[in-house]
Amino acid sequence: MSDPNPAIVTRIAEELRRARRLFFITGAGISADSGLPTYRGIGGLYNNQATEDNFSIETALSGSMLEANPAITWKYLHQIENSCRGARFNDAHAIIAELQNYFEVCVLTQNIDGFHRDAGSRNLIEIHGDIHDLYCTRCDYAVTVSDYSGLDMPPSCPRCHALVRPRVVLFGEVLPSHAIQHLYAELDQGFDLVFSIGTTSVFPYIAGPVVQASQMGIPTVEINPTDTNVTRFVDYKLAAGAAASMRAIRQAYQQGLN
């Protein structure tokens, strides 16, 4: 993977020095440096292949499958969680959290790995949820687990024995209203600089804020090794990895403060 372009990094650092409120939109690519697979949606490890049960991963990881055959959905949730197990946040997550010392920062993430939360991001919109947060589909039982190793598959509620599920948005399910309201409230306040990191921006609620910022003349940055749905809208494009890019931006920003 190529190194971030120093001239573009310098210009991003200059934009940072003029900014007060920052908006980071992140996808699977920001967790690639933690060893996690990048993927579309939450079903990443499979790309477009059918699962061993001959369902597409979108079908296996859908709300309707969870209802009809929870063992299938949980089988693949368990595989995804297992692929993340033992991994931890990387420099990109940590630097975004560190920027809270200098700026007002909001993070909108599609990722369900919990790394932004672990790194210390406070104003965080986990639009697709977190795979570690579980709740009962019948009663008010809820728990956060570090991993799935101690769970029965599929797990049942210790209180009422109904099905337990993760607090994530499965295919075909609606986004959580509290997350959408949080996002709208942040967008209403406006931002001085918008970053899109490690996401192909296929969903309108992920691409929209970047396009809107661009149309309003707010500086926009994309960090992604490949071109995406928002590349043509952004002011600054770093075709490099998230961790290397954020390290370079932090260094250039801090040099300018000295």
Catalytic residue numbers read: 128
Tokens of 196: 């899109």
Q: Is the peptide bond before 209 cis (omega within 30 degrees of 0)?
A: no
Please name the amino acid found at residue 78: H
| Strand-strand pairing, 236-238 and 193-197 | unpaired
Note whether 120 and 137 are within 8 A (CB).
no
| Alpha-carbon gap, residue 142 to 132, rounded angstroms | 11
Note whether 228 and 51 are within 8 A (CB).
no
Alpha-carbon dihedral angle through residues 46, 48, 51, 53, given to the nearest 10 degrees: 170
